[in-house]
Amino acid sequence: MIYHGTRFTFQPDVTPQQRKAALESLRDQGRTIPSVRSFIVGQDHGGEHEWAAIFVIEDLDGYWEYLMHPAHRRADQIALPLIAEQLSFDIVDDPDPRLGLKIAELYERLPEGPGHTRRTVLASMAAATAGTAVAGPIAGAAPATAEAAPAVTERAAAVAAGVTVEIVLSVNGQRRRVVVEPRVTLLDALRERLGLTGTKKGCDRGECGACTVLADGERIKSCLTLAVMARSAEITTVEGLARGEELHPVQEAFIRHDAFQCGACTPGQIMSAVACINEGHTGSEAEIREWMSGNICRCAAYQNIVAAVGDAATEVRR
**Higher-pLDDT residue of 45, 26:** 26
CA distance 88 to 55: 11
Domain boundaries, the chain: 2-159, 165-240, 249-317
Helix (H, G, I), strand (E, B) or coil at 23: helix
* pLDDT > 90: percent of the chain: 52
Helix (H, G, I), strand (E, B) or coil at 277: helix
How much is the average pLDDT of 266-292? 95
Superfamily per CATH, domain 165-240: Beta-grasp domain (3.10.20.30)
What does the angle CA 50 – CA 187 – CA 51 come to, to the nearest 5 degrees?
A: 10
Does the structure show a pLDDT above 50 at 153?
no
CA distance 265 to 1: 24
Determine contact, residues 176/194, Cβ cutoff 8 Å: yes
How much is the average pLDDT of 28-37? 92
Residue 242's closest CA among 232, 233, 255? 255
Neighbour count for residue 267 (Cβ, 10 Å) = 24
CA distance 23 to 155: 23
Report the pLDDT value the prediction gives residue 167, as an integer from 0 to 100: 87
Does the structure show a pLDDT above 70 at 42?
yes
pLDDT digits (tens, 9 = 90+) for 244-265: 889 999 999 999 999 999 999 9
Range 249-317: architecture per CATH: Orthogonal Bundle (1.10)
CA distance 219 to 267: 12
How much is the average pLDDT of 150-162? 42
Averaged pLDDT of the chain? 81
CA distance 170 to 310: 30
Does the structure show a pLDDT above 70 at 96?
no
Stretch among 86-100, 215-229, 280-294 having the lowest mean pLDDT: 86-100
Confidence of residue 102 (pLDDT cuts 50, 70, 90): confident
Range 2-159: architecture per CATH: 2-Layer Sandwich (3.30)
Q: Which residues pair with 214 in a beta bridge?
A: 219, 236
pLDDT digits (tens, 9 = 90+) for 163-183: 677 889 999 999 999 988 888
